[in-house]
Amino acid sequence: MTAAEVAERVAAGRTNAFVQDTSRSVWSIVRANVLTLFNGIILACFLVLLAIGRWQDALFGFSAVANAVIGSVQEYRAKRALDKLALLNAPHARVLRDGAEAEVDVAAVVVDDMLVLRAGDQVPADALVQASRGLQLDESMLTGESDPVEKAPGDRVLSGSVVVGGEGTAVVDRVGADSFANSLAAEAKRFSLVASELRSSINRVLKWVAWIIGPVALLVLNAQMIAQGGWVQAWESGAWRDAAVATIASVVAMVPLGLVLMTSITFAVGAVKLARQQVLVQELPAVEGLARVDLICLDKTGTLTQGDIVFDAAHPLAEVPGWEGVLAWYGVQNDANATARSLAEPFPAVRTDAPVDRVPFSSARKWSAVMFGDGMWILGGPEMVFPGASADPMRRKLAERAAELAATGRRTLVLAHGTPTGDETVPADAVPVVLLTFRENIRPDAAETLAYFAAQDVGVRIISGDNPQTVAAIAREVGLDAPHGFDARELPDDADELLRVLDENLVFGRVTPDQKKRIVVALKAAGHTVAMTGDGVNDALAIKEADIGVAMNSGAAATKAVARLVLLDGKFSHLPSVVAEGRQVIANIERVSMLFLTKTAYATFLAITFGILLLPFPFLPRQLSVTDGLTIGIPAFFLALLPNAQRYVPGFLRRSLTFAVPAGVAVTLGIAAFARLAANAQIPEAEIRTGSTLILTIIGLWILVVLSRPVTRFKGLVIGAMMIGLVLVYTVPIVRDFLQLVDPSLTTALLVLGTSLLSIALIEIVRFAHRRIARRDAETAGLARSATGARGARRSAGRP
C-alpha cells in the first residue's frame, strides 16, 4: 500500500486501533468501591438521619464517602501506572508499504495492509493468506488446539494466533473491534479476580452480615421502641426518632466497610511498588497469589537461561559432502529461529543452488528439512529424527554421542541426509552426517532465585521442550538436585501414575505445549498452588491454566496477554520480591481483618444482646464513628502497609474469626454488664452512653495493642497518636459537647474501670489461645512443606 492509501483508511477510521486496558476500567473501579450493597445500607441510614434532623449522627456517611473515594483513587493510580507500563511495552506489526517492509504499531495497521508473517510473530489483525512458504500458525489461544495449523494461500489467519513455522504474507480484511481475537484478548487481559483467599474470605463475611443485618435491625428497633414506652407511645411522642438513631448506630457498626477498603488499597499499593521494580501486575490479587504458591514450574529457555543460543561445535559422523552449505542456508532464512540463526556466522558459505522443496519446522515433530538436488537434509533433535533403538552402528554411535554431549548441558541437533520421501517423514535411508552442539547462557540470577525458593519450601519443576539430559545438566548448574531428566514422551496417561512421575522427578524434557498444560492441571488437582513461568507461545496454555502465570517481557505477545505477572526487564530474580510483597499483603490484611471483624462481631452481639434484653442501645452513631476511626480505621491504614515477611499459612478466615468472635464476646460482656449495672443504679442515659463509649475506647485501644505485638517504634507512634486523639476527644469541650459526652460519676467510673479490666483479661486469654492456634497451623503447614520437599529431593536423587 502507498502512504496515501494508508492515510485514506486512517481518515475513514478503518484502523486496528482497539484500546484494551491491562487492568480495571475506571467504571469498574468506581462500581466496586461505590455501588455496593453495604454502601447502599450506609446511604439509606445517612438519608434517614438527615431526614429526621440528626445530621450530627450522620458522620459515618462522610466516612463511607471517604472510604469510597480513597479506594477509587488508590486503584485508579495503580491502574494508570500499570497501563503506562503496558503501553511502553506494546507489540509491533510488520507490513509492506510503498514497496518496502516497515514495522508499525499494531494500532496503526489498516484494512488492506499486507502483513509479513514470520516465526514468532503474533498476527495483529484478521487477514487472508496471499503467499505461504511452510506457514504454520499456533491457534491454541483461539481454539484450545495446541497442534500447529498449516496455512495455504486463501486461508484465513486470525488475530491472536502466532506463527510457529515458515513465513508468508497476508492481506488484512478485519481490524480493531471487528477482528475475531479482540473478544478473547479482552477476556485474557481484562482485570479479573484471581483465586484470592483474602477476597473470597472477606466476601464470605460480607455475605453473612448481609443475611443477618435485616433481622438484627428489626430486633434492635423493637427493643428501642419498647424502651421508649412502646410502639404507640414512641410514635405519638416523637421518641421514635431516638429509637431510629439507636437502631442505625447498631446497623452501621456491623458493616466492615473499612476491611474492603484496606484490602483494595493494599493490593493497589503492592502492585505500584512492584511496577517500580519492573514487574507488571496485570491482576491485582496476583500480588497475594504468588505468596501462596507452593510449587513453581519453570521453562528452561528464557527463564533459567537467557535464551540466546550460541553455536558450540560440529561433530562429523559420516563423509557426506555439502553439509556446511546446508547449515549456512539454514542460518540466513527469514523464518530462522534463534538456533538456526546462530549457524550463519560459523558457516558463511551459503549454497548457490535453490532448494527444490522444504518441510518447515513443527513443534510436534521437532525437525525441519530442505531438499536440494543432492537429496533431503533433515535438521532436528537426534532422538526425534532417529527415534528408538537401532542396530545400525552409526545411529547407535549418534545416540551415545548425543547423550554424552547433552549430559554436559549442551543442546544437540543432528543434520541427516537421505532420499526425499515426497511427504513429511524422515527417509528410511537417512544417515546422520554431523552432530551440532549449542550453548545457552545461564541467567546470573537463576541460582540465587532457586535457592530462595528452596529455603521457602517451594517445590520446583523444570519443564522444557529440549533434550531431558540437557535440561537436567543446566538444572544442576543452577543448584537443583537433578541427576537425570524425564523424557515427556514417556509420560503415563493415567492421572495417578502421572502424579507419581511428577513427584519423583524435577526435570522434564521434550514436553509439548499440551503436556505442559496437562502437568499444571495435574499438580493443581493434587492440591498444589502452582505458578508457571515462561516466554514462548508453547508456554501460553500452561501459563493461563496455572494459578499464577508469569511471563518474560521478551516472550510472545500471546503469552504475556494471559500471564498474571510480566517481568518487564526479564529478570527472574524479581520473583522473590513478588513473593515478599504478597506475604506482606496477606500477613497485614490478616492482622487488620482481626480489628475490623472484632468490631463486626461485637457490634452484632451488642445489637442482639440489647435487642433481647430490651435495653436502650448505649451508643450514638457519632460516638461509634469517632471511636471506630481512632481505634480501628486510622491505625489499620498504617498497619496494612508495614513490612511483614511472615510466611503464608492457609486458613486466613478461620484464624481471623477465632480471635474476632471471642474478642467480640468479651467486649459485649463488658458493655452489657456495665449497661445493666448502670441501669440498676439509676444512672442517667447520657452517662451510660459516656461510660459505654469509654469502655469501648479502652478495650479498642487494648485490642489494637494486642494485634500490633511486637510493638515496634513505628507501631508505638501510631498507637500513641491514637491515644492522644482519644484523650482530646474527651477533654476538648467542643468535641465533648458534639459527642454528647458527660463527666462520669464515681459509681460510673468504678463500673467503667471494673468492666474494662474484665474485658481486657478475657481478650488476653483469647489472644493466648489464638496464638496457639496460629502456631499450630504454621507448624502443620511447615511439616507438610518439609515432608513434600524432602520426599521430592529423595526421589529426585533416586532414594526411596
Residues labelled as active-site residues? 299
The DSSP annotation for 635-699 comes to HHHHHTTS---PPP-S-HHHHHHHHHHHHHHHHHHHHHHHHHHHHHTT--HHHHHHHHHHHHHHH
- Do 766 and 709 form a contact (C-beta atoms < 8 A)? no
Grid cell locating 331: 542460518
Tell me how far apart the alpha carbons of residues 465 and 471 are, in angstroms, rounded to a whole number.
Answer: 9
Cβ atoms of residues 39 and 64 within 8 Å: yes
Q: DSSP letters of 603-644?
A: HHHHHHHHHHHTPPPS--HHHHHHHHIIIIIHHHHHHTTS--
Report which of 48, 37, 40 is spatially closest to residue 221, judged by C-alpha positions.
48
Question: Do β-strands 548-552 and 530-534 pair in parallel, antiparallel, or remain unpaired?
Answer: parallel
Collapsing DSSP to helix, strand or coil, 734 comes out as helix
Contact 544, 562 (CB under 8 A): yes
Contact 366, 381 (CB under 8 A): yes
Helix (H) or strand (E) holding 281: strand 279-281
C-alpha grid cell, residue 525: 488437582
Grid cell for residue 49? 438521619
* Residue 254 bridge partners (DSSP): none
Q: Where are the alpha helices (DSSP H) in 20-177?
A: 26-34, 37-51, 59-88, 140-143
Query: Distance of CA 166 to CAs 47, 257, 336, 356, 372, Å?
Result: 68, 57, 8, 16, 18
On the 0-12 / 13-18 / 19+ scale of CB atoms within 10 A, 776 is: exposed
Rounded CA gap, 328 and 332, in Å? 7
- Cβ count near 614 (within 10 Å): 12
The amino acid present at 150, given as its one-letter code, is: E
Residue type, 17: A
Q: Report residue 111 as a C-alpha cell.
A: 484494512
668, three cell numbers = 459485649
For residue 532, give the H/E element and its range: strand 530-534
Task: Assign 547 to helix, strand or coil.
Answer: coil
Supply the DSSP symbol for 11: H
The SS3 of residue 99 is coil
Sign, CA torsion 560/566/569/573: negative
683: its cell numbers = 444512672
Q: Burial letters for 409-437: b for 16+ Cβ neighbours within 10 Å, e otherwise? A: bbbbbbbbbbeebeeeebbeebbbbbbbb
Q: How many Å from the N-terminal Cα to the C-terminal Cα in the chain? A: 67
Q: How many CA atoms lie within 13 A of 625 on its CB side?
A: 21
CA atoms within 13 A on the CB side of 56: 10
**CB distance 356 to 373 below 8 Å:** yes
DSSP at 209: H
**Quick check: 737 and 634 in contact, CB under 8 A?**
no
Cell of 790: 524432602
Grid coordinates given for 301: 529457555
Maximal C-alpha separation, the chain: 113
- What amino acid occupies position 264? S
